[in-house]
Amino acid sequence: MKPAARVAEPTGADQVVRRGTAADAEPLVSLLASAFQEDPVAVWIFPDARRRRAALPGFFRALYDLSLGGDGVWTTNDLGAVLLTTDSDTPEPAGYAERLDAVAGEDREALRTVLGLLDAHQPAVPHHHVAFAGVAPDRQRSGWGALLLEGFLRHCDDQGLPVYAETSSASGRALGHRYGFHPRGSAIRLPDGPTLQPMWRVPHARH
């Protein structure tokens, strides 16, 4: 039996971090929908697995378009990872809330609850917000996600803007600490569901 092929670490010009475009939407939305199929918050919103599989592509397409409107989609040149971000001035597309309601269907109230709690914790000062991050299954734990996050954070540091994020896992908190994020305020607790910890990163001086 041959040993399993090892995915190479992303290096040099082979893995350029760039802004995502409308043309990238289909593969990147598919990546996110697959990555979040068993996410605790996604399961809380869409408890039925079949409904969740049906809803997540439309949900992430709406969020992709929101981020795209503010030039906040980040990816690699092989589309192996994606970061959806917004900032304080990102415009909400016309009909955005109605679009999310339609995607969620009978789970719309749960989705509204989550979005309402997240909005209530958003900082009032200008900042960038990391909404969602996903890495292709064959690229996980191989440095692609870190490469993408580092590129985005360099952009934030160049702008002198802080970064806000939420995480529902210990591994997410550990990754945040690695890149200069610290807990901000109280945890966001979903009724009879998972907890999300708000995280905050002040801009770092570039040398």
pLDDT in tens, 156-192: 999 999 999 999 988 889 989 999 999 998 999 999 9
**Per-residue pLDDT tens listing for the chain (207 residues):** 333 333 344 444 345 899 999 999 999 999 999 999 999 999 999 999 999 999 999 999 999 999 999 999 999 998 999 999 999 888 888 999 999 999 999 999 999 999 999 999 999 999 999 999 999 887 776 677 888 999 999 999 999 999 999 999 888 899 899 999 999 989 999 999 999 999 999 999 866
Place of tokens 């082979």: 14
Report the distance separating Cα 136 and Cα 134, nearest Å: 7
Q: What is the CATH code of the structural domain delimited by 17-201?
A: 3.40.630.30
Report the distance separating Cα 61 and Cα 25, nearest Å: 7
CB under 8 Å to 158, separation ≥6 — which residues?
206
pTM of the model: 0.89
The ranges assigned to domains in the chain are: 17-201
Report the distance separating Cα 152 and Cα 139, nearest Å: 18
Residue 166, classed as helix, strand or coil, is strand
Burial class (CB in 10 A: 0-12, 13-18, 19+), 70: middle
Structure token pair of residue 75: 């990816």
